[in-house]
Chain A
Amino acid sequence: MTTFANEPLLELRREAVRNQALDALQALDAKLPLDVPMLIGEDVVTGRRLASVDPSAPARVVAYAHEATEQHAHQAIASAERGHRAWSRKPAADRAAALQRAADILRTRRLELAALAVREAGKPWAEADADVCEAIDFLVYYAQGAQQLDAGRSLLQLPGERNAMRYVGRGVTAVIAPWNFPLAIAAGMVSAALAAGNAVVLKPAEQTPACAKAVIDALHAGGVPLDALHLLPGGDEAGKALVADPRVHTIAFTGSCAVGLQILERAAKVVPGQHHLKRVIAEMGGKNCVIVDSDADLDDVVPGLLKSAFAFAGQKCSAASRALVHAAVADELAERLAGAVGTLRVGPAAEFATDVPPVIDVAAQQRIERYIASATPLAQGERRDDGFYVPPTIFAGLPADSPVVTEEIFGPVLSLETVASIEEACEAVDRSPFALTGGLFSRSPRTIEYVSEHTPVGNLYVNREITGAMVGRQPFGGGKLSGTGPKAGGPDYLLQFVEARAVTENTVRHGLVV
């Protein structure tokens, strides 16, 4: 089996590559708005239309999705139950081959898909391209991993018995995907479930249905049967119906903490006729801290924090929200960061010059603006009103109970706090209910070791930005209220989507081992 390698990113530092990207955007624009029907088995189903718009220019409709109702969810699950039988019996290698072919299809469409993420999610080019690459990575990584898993695990063997353990798919998997990685996370959760032998019903975020459809189309074209993979665009209704349905075995969710907790609660309830326990794989929020030690190189800290806090307008679960800065360097760092925020360009996702794009929708914009209005900023970037823009904002020295310090904002907001020691910083991190990502800037080996041992976060990044986890290199996911910790893009992820079965055969006949 070939070893895994990440899909190469676009080399956007070259003008020729940038021009190709812009050509792809122009070609996409000519096709807008796209149509995103429900895909339920053989049926292409229409319903009430729901527009997804370009956050950089809300007048531009990117797609009309056909909203799935509870009824559609039931139909999709019924189809998935039928599809599961055949799909789960297919050899793992055949399922993997379908995923690999889907990855190839995404590769041939990568500029078009990046352009779609630019338009539909307001993702700047580099981020949009990384989203496409990560989607490809997930398909390939899980395809390879599922084949390895199919070989089972070796067990202790004694004379007279033969022991084997193998993994099988669990059943119908409901995937509820977010808009912030509209291609990658949908592709990751769906492909892991499929590779492991489960049929899938995907409910994408209502803001990014066209991105989800592009992933589903590639998987169908790659050979995943129509009744093994279903698409239910729309709002909450279909998602709630999927979570509650007794025929669903596994729920893979990425999104907010509040919704994640509701799903966990709802899924725990066994309803009449349900003969299994549902498993929930939840990736929820974060309130991610970056610790800056007194010996940190501020030349690295400033760009590292800018990127972690403000890239894609802070709309990543991994984004930096708080910086806990040693008192010895706090003033200097605050001054340099304040100056640096003023150099960030707020603008449309499609412009290469943009540092901070708009946020996803007007609701997000208003919510983030309320946080910003709750205190006096240390520094703030540009304001714009021709899209869902929020100015990148830095606060300093807020009280510990300020909502800016305690709540997940999911926007371009960074709070600076001064700490007297690394120990104090670690205690502050520990008090947070979240434990997703964290950062440390230090040049002391012992400090790095201390923080590694004392921080509960799922992903700690030392002396670099805290976003941009790569499949196979930085398995992603956290503990505490940040999620169930399945580590997407890591070697253990597929285990969430299977059940293990052990078979022991007695090989003694007539007193002889045969």
Chain B
Amino acid sequence: MAAAPTPDLEPVEPVDLDAPIRAIGTDLAARMPRPRAVSTARVERRMQELLISDPGLRAALFRFVDVRPACATPADVTRHLDELLEQAQDSKHARRATGITGRRFATRPVAALAATGVKQMAQRFIVGEDATDALPAITALWKRGVDATVDLLGEATVTEAEADRYAARCEDTLRALAQAAHHHPGRDVNLSVKVSALTPLLRRPEAPERGIEGAAPRLRHLLRVARDVGAHLHVDMESFDTREAITTLTLDLLAEPEFATGPSAGIVLQAYLTESDEHLQTLLDWAREHPRTHPFTIRLVKGAYWDHEVVQAAQNGWAAPVFTDRRECDRNFERLTKRLIDHAGPIKVAIASHNLRSIAHAAAYADARGVGNDDLEFQILRGLGDDTQAAIAATGRRVRCYCPVGDLVAGMAYLVRRLLENTANDSFLAAHAGGADTAELLEAP
């Protein structure tokens, strides 16, 4: 990696983005379905409102969703639901609900309902149990002009055998998707991988070299498979504890001569990290020194481990590595968006956000800089931003859907994380569901 940061490209003329941001944002919003148009959507929205306004119930339901896969019998399901609702004593909705779950004859119906509810919720976010199972949902996206990236959910990797199994699933998925993609010209094959699943040794933040040594052989193999089948391999970012190891591993492997011509590959930049500016500099310097046949892709995300980072830092007496002010984080996202788009070409930019303002801002700046679909795509999480995804696709911009694949047990951690995000008080989606108007949503952070 480069020691001295090199300056950015030529200085960029300041452009007035306010008007185009409003225009693009209003256009996108207009393409999303009205809440009243679909009755199931309305029920869902009411549920979402309820959870936002009732933290006790929210906590109880999250805990239930979390434990549901570990419940072996209907009685077990009902017992947990009942206990968790009982615990949420400050919630009148929960109190009312225990009136039902507490009745003895209610066990089976409640369990069935609760099990179905969790399953349905999971299916909204998870496209299938495995690659074959997920193919119909993925090809449906392809047909609508939407790209996909597949993320294989699984239990935590604590043994070498589990790491081997995850790597094998990744390989199978790459091959199955590549096979299916033959019938969909213009669409690509794209897999997102988690380094923490490729080795049990990433657990030691003070010894990143161990995680790197552990994951390198498996990731190298997957890079070869991806190259052979013409797929893109994207390395996901995880908690800050593992950031150094994931970054070093990815950049070092991609710098190996055999990968200069392929596969297409990328990494993630987390805008909620206060040091993300320097992280981007490292990535840009590396990309400059390692020209690739397929430009190195950088996916800009807000970051999904905010609570974890804040709690861990507070318990250890550290400064949190993340912005604790949401607007500051949003402003950083826009700054990084600009820097990325300024470097489009040598790198490929992916903007992963459900925030209408962030999306409109990236689109407006890309337009101003003449950066198009070849160098820029938007990314949306399956189940969370389906309307946004459809709207982006309808405006002719490139959009990719992040599609988790896995069974219910494996999907729970993911599901809980998404649910928390979706009903957090300051969540963009919550604001949207709460009926905030478009102009408000498009205000500069």
A residues in contact (CB < 8 Å) with B: 5-9, 11-15, 18, 125-126, 294-299, 302-303, 328, 336, 339-340, 342-343, 345, 351-353, 355, 443-446
Identify B203's interface contact among A14, A295, A303, CB under 8 A: A303
Chain B residues contacting A18 (CB-CB under 8 Å) are 206
How many Å lie between the Cα of A354 and that of B205 in the bound state?
A: 12
Q: If the complex has contacts A13-B206, A13-B244, A295-B76, are A339 and B162 also in contact, measured as CB distance less than 8 A?
A: yes
Most chain A CB neighbours (cut-off 10 Å) among B70, B209, B210, B318: B70
Identify B206's interface contact among A12, A296, A302, CB under 8 A: A12
B269-319 contacts to A, CB under 8 A, are: 316-318
B residues in contact (CB < 8 Å) with A: 63, 66-67, 70-72, 76, 79-80, 83-84, 86-87, 155-156, 158-162, 200-201, 203-207, 209-210, 240-241, 244, 316-318, 413
Ranked nearest first, the 10 interchain pairs of A and B with the lowest CB-CB distance are A339-B159, A8-B317, A13-B205, A299-B156, A12-B206, A443-B67, A353-B207, A352-B207, A295-B70, A302-B158
Q: If the complex has contacts A345-B210, A445-B86, are A340 and B80 also in contact, measured as CB distance less than 8 A?
A: no
| B317 adjacent to A352 (CB under 8 Å) | no
| B83 adjacent to A444 (CB under 8 Å) | yes
Interface SS of chain B: helix
How many Å lie between the Cα of A11 and that of B63 in the bound state?
A: 31
Chain B residues contacting A294 (CB-CB under 8 Å) are 70, 72
In the assembled complex, 26 residue pairs joining A and B whose CB atoms fall closer than 8 Å, in A order, are A7-B317, A8-B316, A8-B318, A9-B317, A13-B240, A13-B241, A13-B244, A14-B244, A126-B206, A294-B72, A295-B71, A296-B70, A303-B203, A328-B72, A336-B158, A339-B162, A339-B200, A340-B159, A340-B200, A353-B204, A353-B209, A443-B66, A443-B70, A444-B83, A445-B86, A445-B87
Q: If the complex has contacts A295-B71, A355-B204, are A11 and B318 also in contact, measured as CB distance less than 8 A?
A: yes
Chain B residues contacting A336 (CB-CB under 8 Å) are 158-159, 162
How many Å lie between the Cα of A120 and that of B72 in the bound state?
A: 50
For the A-B complex with A295-B70, A295-B76, A303-B203 known, give 20 more contacts whose Cβ atoms are closer than 8 Å: A8-B316, A8-B318, A9-B318, A11-B316, A294-B72, A295-B71, A297-B66, A298-B155, A339-B159, A339-B160, A339-B161, A339-B200, A351-B207, A352-B207, A353-B207, A353-B210, A443-B63, A444-B79, A445-B84, A445-B86
CB distance from A299 to the nearest CB of B (A): 4
| B67 adjacent to A295 (CB under 8 Å) | yes
Of all chain A residues, the one with the shortest Cβ separation from B413 is A299
How many Å lie between the Cα of A130 and that of B162 in the bound state?
A: 32
Identify A342's interface contact among B71, B160, B241, B316, CB under 8 A: B160
CB distance from A164 to the nearest CB of B (A): 38
Of all chain B residues, the one with the shortest Cβ separation from A133 is B317
Chain B residues contacting A302 (CB-CB under 8 Å) are 156, 158
| A340 adjacent to B158 (CB under 8 Å) | yes
Of all chain B residues, the one with the shortest Cβ separation from A329 is B70
Chain B residues contacting A296 (CB-CB under 8 Å) are 70
Chain B residues contacting A13 (CB-CB under 8 Å) are 205-206, 240-241, 244
| A15 adjacent to B63 (CB under 8 Å) | no
How many Å lie between the Cα of A18 and that of B207 in the bound state?
A: 9
Chain A residues contacting B66 (CB-CB under 8 Å) are 297, 443
Chain B residues contacting A444 (CB-CB under 8 Å) are 67, 79-80, 83
| B317 adjacent to A6 (CB under 8 Å) | yes
How many Å lie between the Cα of A5 and that of B315 in the bound state?
A: 10
Chain B residues contacting A295 (CB-CB under 8 Å) are 67, 70-71, 76, 80
CB distance from A392 to the nearest CB of B (A): 14
CB distance from B396 to the nearest CB of A (A): 42
Chain B residues contacting A297 (CB-CB under 8 Å) are 66-67, 70
How many Å lie between the Cα of A353 and that of B213 in the bound state?
A: 11
Chain A residues contacting B67 (CB-CB under 8 Å) are 295, 297, 443-444
